[in-house]
Amino acid sequence: MTKFVSRFMNDESGATAIEYGLIAALVAVAIAAVLPTLGGRLSNTFGNVANKLP
């Protein structure tokens, strides 16, 4: 039983998974914050190009 408890206390795989989850959430929030601005600029660029075509 003590071996099981010591293995359980030394196991850090759950903590690593949580860290990766937090990093993925941070990246998703950053992408969600940037996309509206990028989409607007891209739409304006294509609009300008379309207006200059004959």
Question: What pLDDT sits at residue 7?
Answer: 76
User: What pTM does this model have?
Assistant: 0.56
Question: What pLDDT sits at residue 51?
Answer: 94
Q: How far apart are CA 32 and CA 24, in angstroms?
A: 12
Residue 19: domain span: 1-51
Q: Of 37, 13, 33, nearest to 25 (Cα)?
A: 33
Our count of domains for the chain comes to 1
The pLDDT tens digits of the residues spanning 8-52 come to: 667 776 777 888 999 999 999 999 999 988 888 999 999 999 999
